[in-house]
């Protein structure tokens, strides 16, 4: 569709864009990224013919772009420039209608049904129909931006060149506009080349990305091949971390600001836990990075308050999450800052231990109800009801863990729990074999993310050894408490 080959060009003798080559095929959305001054706009200007090139060639549909007449070129390529100098004031409708000029034989002399339809559709797609009689000078920056996007869409050219189309737009309008452009690409085969400042938007909406650095291509490829920490850091000179988008297989970046000095310094101690017949609660001195299978705020996040709430053995409600959220609110806990679990075990029977290692301390808290114990290797052979008789395990680390260490800590803690069930000869009541856990166990690993960096938490690492020992110790003691409460042992 569009071939750019060894393009070099700029404003004076010294080229800004240097030896840039790429191909865009029909229906593809290519995002151009790069720091300020890297040549993104200049590249768009050269492709759109606004700036002459010094070297190289641009081919559209197999024909050299310079061989098209101005009007022919405009029927092939619509351009949304970065800045819109409009010395004269038109209404929105007039401005969008100007997009139809390549389709006219004389100025507005042959306004056709197709012209009318293209303008109406462009106004609808950019949600500006209600402003159609307003003078563009009277619109906000974001509304004006949508008018110029509508003008480019009304042109109905198969190639769309956009320079920061989401400039001035709020998040809802960014999403609306890019959804629209993407739909035009997918449904109508529109080919789009667009400059982006927002790396995350570009990764979400583009099929491929071209990363520019000092006028040259630093990287071109699928978003997952371009949005990698080392490339972004070296080109933008900014510390970033990449992570997956929660719903799409697209990479996203987060800035890592230098705010170490502002960080609240704290450790978690045994005294931060309190226990009552209602719940076990940990109020940490600062937010802990947490990974859990809790009822309230499960998954990964930062939280200060952790609660393991006692509920009746017959607790049953339609929506556990809603009930738990309203319980926390009634009890005066912040819904956003609290992780909540539940257990039918008397919470006074919690076992809390503080374990010292060379790097610092780990705190473990376990409540163990073993009435619903399950041998996981036999689970497939029996049907069971889900009831609340669980082992809830908290692992709190005074240290800094990478994500993989959180997962290793969960594995180590689970193995230690299973070993405790074996020591205590806890059996699956349905199979009579040694249980490996219960039907609804919950696990939480949380870390202060300060102090010593602890890269691993497997069973032979300094952190893993403490977790393994601590979880085993607390789980054995908690199971004994449970057995005592049931009168099974003295
Ligand atoms: N009209 C101009 N005349 C001379 N030099 C220019 C002109 N416009 C831009 N430049 C120079 O060309 C270089 C690249 O500018 P360009 O606008 O292409 O960068 P960009 O990547 O789009 O940056 P930004 O992210 O800031 O929009 C810059 O060093 C800039 O100073």
DSSP 251-269: EEEEE----GGGSPP----
How many domains is the chain built from?
A: 2
Residue in 39, 195, 218, 237 to alter for ligand 1 test, most ligand atoms within 8 A of Cβ: 39
Instruction: Establish whether residue 39 lines the binding site of ligand 1, counting it when its CB lies within 6 angstroms of any ligand atom.
Output: yes
My answer on whether 241 and 301 are in the same domain is no
Residue in 9, 41, 47, 83 to alter for ligand 1 test, most ligand atoms within 8 A of Cβ: 41
| Tens of pLDDT, residues 370-412 | 988 999 998 888 887 766 679 999 999 999 999 999 999 999 9
Please compute the mean of the pLDDT values over residues 287-310 and round it to a whole number: 97
Whole-number average pLDDT of the chain: 93
My answer on whether 303 and 220 are in the same domain is no
My answer on whether 310 and 233 are in the same domain is no
Give pTM, 2 decimals.
Answer: 0.85
* d(CA 361, ligand 1 centre) in Å: 54
Residue 218 falls within a domain, yes or no?
Answer: yes
Instruction: Establish whether residue 41 lines the binding site of ligand 1, counting it when its CB lies within 6 angstroms of any ligand atom.
Output: yes
Atom 26 of ligand 1, residue of closest alpha carbon:
36
Instruction: Establish whether residue 102 lines the binding site of ligand 1, counting it when its CB lies within 6 angstroms of any ligand atom.
Output: no
Residue 264 falls within a domain, yes or no?
Answer: no
Task: Evaluate whether ipTM surpasses 0.85.
Answer: yes
Residue 47 falls within a domain, yes or no?
Answer: yes
CATH value at residue 325: 3.60.70
Instruction: Establish whether residue 50 lines the binding site of ligand 1, counting it when its CB lies within 6 angstroms of any ligand atom.
Output: no
Strand partners, 181: none
Q: Between 8 and 86, where is the model more confident?
A: 8
Residue 265 falls within a domain, yes or no?
Answer: no
Query: Residue 45 — pLDDT band, cuts 50, 70, 90?
Result: very high
Give the end of a domain, one of 213, 228, 255: 255
My answer on whether 251 and 292 are in the same domain is no
Q: Compute the chain's Rg from CA coordinates.
A: 31
Q: Which residues of 368-387 are buried (b: 16+ CB within 10 A; e: fewer)?
A: bbbbbbbbeeebeeeeeeeb
My answer on whether 216 and 322 are in the same domain is no
Atom 30 of ligand 1, residue of closest alpha carbon:
37
My answer on whether 349 and 474 are in the same domain is yes
My answer on whether 217 and 149 are in the same domain is yes
* d(CA 152, ligand 1 centre) in Å: 23
Query: CB within 8 A of 271, min separation 6: which ones?
Result: none
My answer on whether 237 and 332 are in the same domain is no
- Please identify, by atom number, the ligand 1 atom nearest to the C-alpha of residue 212: 21
List phi, psi (to 5°) of 15. Answer: -65, 145
> Which residue range forms the structural domain that includes residue 407?
270-485
My answer on whether 384 and 471 are in the same domain is yes
CA 420-426-432 angle, to 5 degrees, is 140
My answer on whether 195 and 283 are in the same domain is no
């Amino acid at each position: 569709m569009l071939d750019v080959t060894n393009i070099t060009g700029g404003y004076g003798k010294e080229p800004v864009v240097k030896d840039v080559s790429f191909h865009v095929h029909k229906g593809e959305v290519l995002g151009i990224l790069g720091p300020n001054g890297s040549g993104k706009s200049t590249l768009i200007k050269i492709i759109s013919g606004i700036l002459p090139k010094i070297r190289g060639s641009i081919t559209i549909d197999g024909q050299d772009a310079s061989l098209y007449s101005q009007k022919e070129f405009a029927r092939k390529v619509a351009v949304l420039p970065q800045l819109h100098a409009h010395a004269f004031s038109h209404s929105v409708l007039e401005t969008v209608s100007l997009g139809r000029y390549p389709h006219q034989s004389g100025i507005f002399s042959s306004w056709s049904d197709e012209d009318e339809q293209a303008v109406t559709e462009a106004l609808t797609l950019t949600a500006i129909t209600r402003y159609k009689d307003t003078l563009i000078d009277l619109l906000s920056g974001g509304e004006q931006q949508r008018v110029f996007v509508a003008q480019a869409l009304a042109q109905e050219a198969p190639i769309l060149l956009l320079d920061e189309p989401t400039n001035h737009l709020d998040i809802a309008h960014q999403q609306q506009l890019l959804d629209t452009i993407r739909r035009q690409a997918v449904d109508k085969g529109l080919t789009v080349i667009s400059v982006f400042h927002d790396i995350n938007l570009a990764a979400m909406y583009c099929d491929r990305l071209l990363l520019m650095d000092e006028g040259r291509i630093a990287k071109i490829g699928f978003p997952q091949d371009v949005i990698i920490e080392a490339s972004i850091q070296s080109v933008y000179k900014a510390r970033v971390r990449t992570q997956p988008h929660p719903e799409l297989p697209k990479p996203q970046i987060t800035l890592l600001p230098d705010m170490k000095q502002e960080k609240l310094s704290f450790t978690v101690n045994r005294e931060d836990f309190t226990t009552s017949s209602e719940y076990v609660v940990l109020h940490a001195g600062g937010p802990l990075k947490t990974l859990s299978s809790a009822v309230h705020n499960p998954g990964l996040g930062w939280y200060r308050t952790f609660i393991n709430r006692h509920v009746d053995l017959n607790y049953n409600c339609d929506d556990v999450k809603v009930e738990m959220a309203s319980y926390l609110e009634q009890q005066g806990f912040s819904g956003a800052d609290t992780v909540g679990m539940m257990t039918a075990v008397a919470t006074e029977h919690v076992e809390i231990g503080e374990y010292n290692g060379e790097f610092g301390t780990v705190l473990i808290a376990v409540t163990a109800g073993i009435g619903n114990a399950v041998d996981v290797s036999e689970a497939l052979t029996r049907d069971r009801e889900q009831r609340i008789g669980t082992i809830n395990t908290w692992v709190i680390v005074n240290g800094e863990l990478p994500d993989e260490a959180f997962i290793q800590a969960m594995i180590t803690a689970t193995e230690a729990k299973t070993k405790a069930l074996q020591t205590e000869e806890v059996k699956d009541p349905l199979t009579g074999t040694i249980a490996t856990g219960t039907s609804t166990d919950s696990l939480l690993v949380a870390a202060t993310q300060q102090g010593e960096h602890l890269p691993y938490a497997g069973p032979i690492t300094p952190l893993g050894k403490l977790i393994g020992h601590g979880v085993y110790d607390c789980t054995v003691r908690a199971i004994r408490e449970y057995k005592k409460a049931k009168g099974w042992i003295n």
